[in-house]
Structure 1
Amino acid sequence: MAAWGPATATVLLRGIRGLPLRCAHGTFASQTEGELRVTQMLREKFPPATAIKVTDISGGCGALYEIKIELEDFKEKRTVQQHQMVNQALKEAIKEMHGLRIFTLVPRC
């Protein structure tokens, strides 16, 4: 997988009264249940993706995710269009999130 640069990032933060940006967490496996759920949703929507990485950056409570996705379909699309594709794929799941950070990349070669 290639390096992810800040030029490819979009951050969507939603202020939800009463919910902290960071949540307390305990010990968890390599991927949380939320990370696995979001990863599965992206794999179903983008089967030809060469890389998908979902990280819960809220401390494990599922309020804030970072998504990195590498997909040939992003070629010839502006960054905002690439991110719209990801947002559309996660439309229902986003309703339950506090925020989302998206990094998109077109595979080399």
Structure 2
Amino acid sequence: MLRLFRGVKQYLPAIARRGYCEANTEFTEGEKKIISILKSKFPSAKVEAQDISGGCGAMYTVFVEAEEFRGQRTLKQHRMVNEALKEEIRDMHGLRITTGVPRGKG
């Protein structure tokens, strides 16, 4: 079973290249929390998160593909994600964000 970032290799090539998808099948508590928050903010979005700090929760990379981003510049999309995660970001060292709009509409 593939887990994180399946189908988004074009957005996160380093993760895909190193085989992270096949190696891990469990989410950390931090990953679960971030996914839950982003899914509540963007209910129809494809949301994926990965702790890239070795499991300590200091740095994450997230991917959000949401219809709410349609017509918005990348900077605005990232600000929307930052706003959704503002409480969690306070305890992080860094956050790498990739956003996108679902294909096939409008």
Note whether the superposition's TM-score is higher than 0.5.
yes
Unaligned runs of 5+ residues in structure 2 are 1-6, 14-23
Identity %: 51
Q: 1:29 offset after TM fit, Å?
A: 5.9
Q: Provide the alpha-carbon RMSD of the alignment.
A: 1.8
TM-score by length of 2: 0.76
Match of residue 34, structure 2, among 38, 55, 59: 38
Match of residue 79, structure 1, among 74, 79, 83: 74
Match of residue 67, structure 1, among 51, 62, 67: 62
Aligned residue pairs, count: 87
Q: 1:5 offset after TM fit, Å?
A: 6.5
CA distance change for structure 1 residues 5 and 59 in 2, over 3 Å: closer, same or farther? Answer: closer
Q: Which residue in 2 is equivalent to 1:91?
A: 86
Letter in 1 for 2:35: T
Q: Which residue in 2 is equivalent to 1:4?
A: 11
Q: Which residue in 2 is equivalent to 1:24?
A: none
TM-score by length of 1: 0.74
Q: 1:91 offset after TM fit, Å?
A: 0.7
1:69-106, Cα deviation, whole Å (9 max, x unpaired): 10011111000000000000001010010100000010
Letter in 2 for 1:60: G
Unaligned runs of 5+ residues in structure 1 are 7-27
Q: 1:30 offset after TM fit, Å?
A: 1.4
Which has the bigger relative contact order, CA under 8 A and spacing at least 6? 1
